[in-house]
Structure 1
Amino acid sequence: MRDQNFASSRRRFDDDDPNFLKRLSHDFDTAWDSSDDPSGDEQYSSWDTPGVLHGPEPRPDWVVTELSARDTELGVLKTGKEADVHLVERAVPDGPRTLLAAKRYRAAEHRMFHRDSGYLEGRRVRESRVTRAMESRTAFGREALAGQWAAAEFGALGQLWALGVSVPYPVQLLGTEVMLEFVGAPDGTAAPRLAQTRPSRAELESLWWQLVDGLRVLARAGLAHGDLSPYNLLVDGERLVFIDLPQIVDVVINPNGAEFLARDVANVARWFTGKGFPVDPEPLVVELLHDAGIR
């Protein structure tokens, strides 16, 4: 059971701005069961759809791969400027079932590419015409960008999962939809963001060192989260989980890589210090840059 020092009320997954929230369309106060709501939006699982990419192996035991499985929409967990996150039940009739978070990047006409330029430095696609279209923000280019954000997040999660970083397992990628492990309770209650928690001193210390360990693995792989903050970290019981990784930065290739890494550390160090666990970000930044091999 989750420690009562952490927020016990229902939280939404990966919220970055409360002004963009929608309420869930189902009540999860009791254990969820898709059979309780026959009107739910149910369709066959997209696991075997042509073009779908699957997460790294070995897969966790809870991943449902049976072709007879059904996907049922259970509600909106988060709406944002660039993607919406939906709660989906994937279940085999009279068989295994699991909850997933389906992150769906917005269509071109509804997206706000307010962060593209800095993060996309050093990223290229195979066809030069696609690169040009993305740079000029044509309709086709914006669609390509949406797909690139989804693919970047799916690839980053798969890489970090394989390296042992605490991230949601990436179940599958289909177009601009990334299907992820749902981080939370079986009743559909999402794990709170770090910013929503009120941890004790001992819990702060544990969470900080979990964070440092994760950042070290990222740096040794030549990566930085790129948008790290207390709003892009979940607290699942005693476990810290990194989320929201479409903007992941290659700190070696990206000319602003060192600045992104330093900003990540400063953002989270400021929060921990404000909660009564003072940390100096500078020594950690120096260590991470050294681990990344750029200083």
Structure 2
Amino acid sequence: MKTPQGLQALIDDGVIDEVLRPLKSGKEAAVYVVRSGDDVRCAKVYKDMAQRSFQQRVQYQEGRKVRGSREARAVGKASKYGRKQQETAWKNTEVDALYQLRAAGVRVPEPHGYFHGVLVMELVTDAEGFSAPRLGEVELDAEQARDFHRVLVRQVVRMLCCGLIHGDLSAYNVLVGPDGPVVIDFPQVVSAGGNNAARTMLLRDVNNLTASLGRWAPELLDTWYGEEMWALFEAGALHPEMELTGEFEPDESSVDLDSVRHAINDAREEALIRQQGREAAAEAEA
């Protein structure tokens, strides 16, 4: 196929030998299947900032570090240089997260380098060697759903122990490989300790997975893994291999209005997700 813009420099430098086919195109990036020597990998070409909205990403960027004081001031003023630095930091975030999470044993694609603004990484495949399907595209039985949920909750715990939250996790950011689920797409990753919305995003991530897998195993819809792991994280008691119970009892000894408002909003969102999951489960059984 014709070499897409952004990948010619990698061919010129010998990083990849050829582009085989497009794999996926989304709001943030386009992904291609490429050949590098005897290996087939994928290359993620991030889209220009002119094609993307920074306004939608303000909440995700809170708590991210900028290299120096000049860059920080420029980002704060939203100058042309600041927007360029912000764009660079946005792209680097996923690269840094992949290396950190892979080293921590999280099930993510293996990164193979970042060249000319392009992330080259492992191509996750199925048992036949084809590109792995997304979790939201596969049919599961109850046992598989429970097993995938257990594995994915463990990945979220390991990410949280690294101080990171995916921020946009769902059945469409998880690939199903021959040995289980693999988490992908990290440009919106959130700092667990430096972002005021961290708890909300963590609960949303876990609830999204629970609602999706609860279609096949409805008992998952009555679990509270997100709340449990966040409470342990705040207490400094969470560790990567901890076995969670899915049970949670809120501390009602002290109340403040802001926390109550956040809790109400969280509860409304969670109730909607769980109800949708129950309805989907009922339809599947009908």
Helix, strand or coil for the counterpart of 1:279? Answer: helix
Matched to 2:27, the amino acid is K
Shift of 1:273: 1.6
Shift of 1:294: 5.3
Aligned to 2:117: 176
Please tell me whether the aligned partners of residues 252 and 292 of structure 1 are also in contact (alpha carbons under 8 angstroms).
no
Q: Which has the larger radius of gyration?
A: 2
What is the CA–CA distance in structure 1 between the aligned matches of 2:235 and 2:63, rounded to whole Å?
16
1:88 corresponds to which of 12, 21, 34:
34
Select the structure with the greater relative contact order (CA < 8 A; seq sep ≥ 6): 1
Moved over 4 A (4+): 39-47, 185-188
Aligned to 1:76: 22
What is the CA–CA distance in structure 1 between the aligned matches of 2:28 and 2:8, rounded to whole Å?
25
Matched, 1:157 2:103: no
Q: Answer 1 or 2: which has greater helix percent.
A: 2
Consecutive unaligned residues of structure 1, counting only runs of 5 or more, are 1-24, 26-38, 50-66, 92-96
Aligned to 2:65: 124
Are residues 135 and 232 of structure 1, via their aligned partners in 2, closer, same or farther at CA, if it must alter by over 3 Å? farther
1:212 corresponds to which of 117, 129, 153:
153
Matched, 1:200 2:200: no
What is the CA–CA distance in structure 2 between the aligned matches of 1:137 and 1:281, rounded to whole Å?
44
What is the CA–CA distance in structure 2 between the aligned matches of 1:122 and 1:184, rounded to whole Å?
34
What is the CA–CA distance in structure 2 between the aligned matches of 1:136 and 1:73, rounded to whole Å?
39
TM value normalised by structure 2: 0.73
Task: Determine what percentage of the aligned residue pairs are the same residue.
Answer: 31
What is the CA–CA distance in structure 2 between the aligned matches of 1:181 and 1:256, rounded to whole Å?
31
Instruction: After TM superposition, list the pairs within 5 Å mapping 1:283-294 onto structure 2.
Output: 283-293=224-234
Consecutive unaligned residues of structure 2, counting only runs of 5 or more, are 237-286
What is the CA–CA distance in structure 1 between the aligned matches of 2:154 and 2:215, rounded to whole Å?
21
Please tell me whether the aligned partners of residues 99 and 186 of structure 1 are also in contact (alpha carbons under 8 angstroms).
no
Instruction: After TM superposition, list the pairs within 5 Å mapping 1:1-295 onto structure 2.
Output: 70-91=16-37, 97-185=38-126, 189-280=130-221, 283-293=224-234
Are residues 251 and 267 of structure 1, via their aligned partners in 2, closer, same or farther at CA, if it must alter by over 3 Å? same
TM value normalised by structure 1: 0.71
CA RMSD of aligned residues (A): 2.7
Shift of 1:135: 4.0
Are residues 262 and 289 of structure 1, via their aligned partners in 2, closer, same or farther at CA, if it must alter by over 3 Å? same
Shift of 1:112: 2.8
Matched to 1:89, the amino acid is R
Q: Which deviates more from structure 2 when the two are superposed, residues 283-292 or residues 182-191?
A: 182-191
Cα-to-partner distance string for 1:106-163 (whole Å, 9 max, x where unaligned): 1222223353111111112122332343344444333323321221111111111111
Please tell me whether the aligned partners of residues 32 and 44 of structure 2 are also in contact (alpha carbons under 8 angstroms).
yes
